[in-house]
Amino acid sequence: MRIMLDNNIWSYLGDARAGKQFRALTHSLGHRVVTAPSVLLEVLQHPRSDIRAAIIEAMMTATDERLRSEADREGAEVISEVRRLHPEWLRAVPDTGREATWRTYWTKRVWREALEQHERLRVAEPARRTARTVQLLVENQKEQQEVWREGKFNLRDLSMITLSPSEETTAEQQAGWV
């Protein structure tokens, strides 16, 4: 069985410095621990460097498989639908090199960087929104909601999307997407 832990559990394991013991326990029971990059990114936001390092150490020690990023998996889902509905949109020879580079980053490299340089990867607290910014966002959302309610928004099925090259489209671009 594959197990995915919540950040609260990782915090407990980090506090107890129990990554190795947890790994031994899960393996003795025949389980594998998987962790998504989003869990690591959340841990990287912890304000205390010592606690953050301990949690990352527990994650690195106890995780058997680092999952692909959510963006990677969702992109694969879109490509699958395009392949099913409009195979002519796909390139004859896909550019898999770029995809492999990003997949390697999110399943291997970001984890090593987090262990070695977690302070550098920690994103500073986002700038606080001013009252005016919040007001503008709310006004924009209300406007969009009104357009939706008036029926001016047309949500079509993915199969209805068509591709038409423009005058600026090169022959290479016309070969397809992906």
| Per-residue three-class SS string for 93-113 | CCCHHHHHHHHHHHHHHHHHH
pLDDT by residue for the chain (178 residues), tens only, comes to 999 999 899 999 999 999 999 999 999 999 999 999 999 999 988 889 999 999 999 999 999 999 999 889 998 899 899 999 999 988 888 888 888 898 999 999 999 999 888 887 776 545 555 677 777 778 878 887 787 777 766 656 555 666 667 776 666 656 554 4
At 9-61, the pLDDT tens digits run 999 999 999 999 999 999 999 999 999 999 999 998 888 999 999 999 999 99
59: nearest Cα among 96, 18, 109: 18
Structure tokens at 63: 């995780």
Report the chain's terminal Cα–Cα distance, integer Å.
34
What is the rounded distance in angstroms from the CA atom of residue 71 to the CA atom of residue 77? 10
98: nearest Cα among 123, 75, 64: 75
Domains contained in the chain, number: 1
Boundaries of domain holding 127? 2-174
Q: Is 34 helix (H, G, I), strand (E, B) or coil?
A: strand
Which residues lie across from 2 on neighbouring strands?
32
Structure tokens at 83: 């392949």
Structure tokens at 18: 């129990």
- Whole-model pTM? 0.64
Give the number of other Cβ atoms within 10 Å of residue 150's Cβ: 8
